[in-house]
Amino acid sequence: MAKVSKEQARQIYNRYSQIEDAEELMEKLKDFTHEVLVNDKPKLMDNRYHPYGTIELHVPTFKEGQFDGSYRIVGISYPSAMRVLKNHIKQLKRELAELQNNLDQCQN
């Protein structure tokens, strides 16, 4: 049986943790948007109105390999955020599969 290094275990844990967090956030967003549509559906909307509200993202920046602050992006609609979260989860699951394949190759 091959040993799993501390770094490999950390990478696996981090991906599972991110997947769980993203899936939990998606469920909360689904519940909230459903509640808003059922209970408080607006009659007239202009192009700037988001019936669910908006989300804010922070994108980290790095300089010479060091964390150097972040950009703040505001006004992202919930449906757009849901698409981003779904894509993020898919990517994390691909990375987990790759990590698993690498571990399986080490065992053989």
Please state, in angstroms and rounded to a whole number, the distance separating the CA atoms of residues 102 and 106.
Answer: 6
Print the domain residue range for 77.
6-39+47-107
Q: Average of pLDDT values for 21-50?
A: 71
Distance, CA of 76 to chain centre: 14
Instruction: Look at residue 10 and tell me if it is in a domain.
Output: yes
Domain count, the chain: 1
Instruction: Look at residue 1 and tell me if it is in a domain.
Output: no
Please write the tens of the pLDDT for every residue from 51-102: 667 788 888 888 888 888 888 888 888 888 889 899 999 999 999 999 988 8
